[in-house]
Amino acid sequence: MAKISIIIASDGNNVVLGKTVAEVAQSMGHEPSVVKLNDHDLPLFTIHRENNEPRPPGLTPLVDALKSSEAWVVLAPEYNGSFPPCLNNAVAWLSREGDDFRTLFRHRPVALGTHSGGGGQHALMAMRMQLAYVGCNVVGRTLVVNKTKPVNEDSIRDVIHSLMQGVAP
């Protein structure tokens, strides 16, 4: 089946959600890998830093993990009406790979999800807008979990099925 990177942009409840997504994906015959952005410790992206400092040590393993996957599930809480800065920073660094800023993202099937106290709809909209802009094919179905709406494994299966529609046979 498919290799799926589950990209987590927090250290909180989205880690638990990510592990559940990985378990469900594996039970469906896929090969999931959990990628926690905070583990890569990327410094704040700036042109000055890119031009004058060594490549961040956490960037190469992140690029390698994401390149090797056929599809991604991106999970993030809502921060101030958007998504966490670590995700925006990772996209900034990743967009510098290759000659075209869309190289890593182009036509990549991506599903979105959130475990968020405030519902997470603003985070989902912001992630969809940014990831579509850099070339990802973002599926319509999302995962939304909060304190009153627990994780639903059937919903995860539906999202993974939608995601697999974009993976080449």
Between 64 and 97, name the one with better pLDDT. Answer: 64
> pTM of the prediction?
0.96
Least confident residue range of 70-74, 102-106, 154-158: 102-106
Q: Is 5 left (phi over 0), alpha (psi -120 to 50) or beta?
A: beta
29: left (phi over 0), alpha (psi -120 to 50) or beta: left
Residues 143-166 have a mean pLDDT of: 95
- Give the residue extent of every domain in the chain: 3-164
**pLDDT category of residue 167 using cuts at 50, 70 and 90:** confident
pLDDT digits (tens, 9 = 90+) for 103-132: 899 999 999 999 998 889 999 999 999 999
Q: Which residues pair with 34 in a beta bridge?
A: 6
Q: Who contacts 6 (Cβ-Cβ below 8 Å, separation ≥6)? A: 18, 21, 22, 25, 32, 33, 34, 35, 72, 73, 75
Of 137, 6, 3, the residue nearest 70 (C-alpha): 3
How many Cβ atoms from other residues are within 10 Å of residue 55's Cβ?
11
Model pLDDT, residue 166: 85
Rounded Cα distance between 134 and 6, Å, is: 18
Let me know the angle formed at the C-alpha of 63 by 61 and 69, rounded to the nearest 5 degrees.
105
Domain 3-164 has CATH 3.30.230.70: no
Instruction: Return d(Cα 90, Cα 37) in angstroms, integer.
Output: 7
Q: Mean of the per-residue pLDDT values for the chain? A: 95
